[in-house]
Amino acid sequence: MKSCINGATTMNYPLEEDFRSAAKAGFEGVEIWASKMEKYLQRHSVEDLKEELERYGLKAASLCPCWLVAFGEKREENLRRVSEAAQIAARIGCPTLLVCPDSPPADMPEDEAFRKAGEAARELGNICAEFGIRIAVEPLGMHPFVPGPEQALRIVDEAGTENVGIMMDTFHYYKSGVPLEAIASIPIDKLLIVHVNDCEDLPKEQLKDSHRLYPGLGVIPLEDMLGVIKANGYKGYFSVEIFREEYWRDDPDTISINSKRHLDSVLASLA
């Protein structure tokens, strides 16, 4: 099991601090937050970014967020942006782009919507394949189109491209009420990364990203959810992604050390 931290968890701090604090806490990987990378590259080169990762002994697990635009007007622009991101990812040894889906018009038939989403995912996959990069479709809590792995995997099937998979976020899966059986049925070769977080005890329809907590401090059945994928052979990154202003007010070292300590505790509890 490989430990990782997402740049959203230390949102108030620049990329350099993300890397430094992640290494100090003992993480093996980092997920690079796209807007932080854009600011970094205004002052530095891609080669500088690669060297910074190497200096701290870190691997880039993913670049996020990117977008799966199947129904919006900015599809061509998104293809260009994803191509640019894939080229950077390839140069720094980052294997995966995380893509968040958009939603179809309310009156579009379901089969047509998934066909169009699959076509869009295929386009992204083909672009990224040129650079040896995978894309992971992210189900979002109570999303009107892709709330869980079943829908994300349907898009993957429609795409029919080897380098298109999905990801798992414990908060989003919990909010969407994804059953353990559905998690257990995810093909492990299509599960590209896992976000680990917890949340407050609120009705699911009231939950927002700001209600996330460090792993093990809330009500999400993390042992069950993560135990299922571990038992099925998942060996990828477990990445802490938390959007909580209370945590963001701490210094980056405190955030990263707390994230690693709580993640380690949860992973140690898995059978």
Question: Which domain CATH number covers 192?
Answer: 3.20.20.150
| Residue 73 predicted with pLDDT over 90 | no
Tell me what the mean pLDDT of segment 52-60 comes to.
98
Q: Which residue has the tokens 């590259």?
A: 41
- Two structure tokens written together for 33: 């937050």
Buried b (16+ CB within 10 A) or exposed e, 47-70: eebbebbeebebbbbbbbbbbbbb
Percent of the chain with pLDDT over 90: 98
Count of structural domains within the chain: 1
Could you list the residue range(s) of the whole structural domain that residue 96 is in?
Answer: 2-268
271 pLDDT tier (thresholds 50, 70, 90): low
pLDDT one-digit tens code per residue, 89-112: 999 999 999 999 999 999 999 999
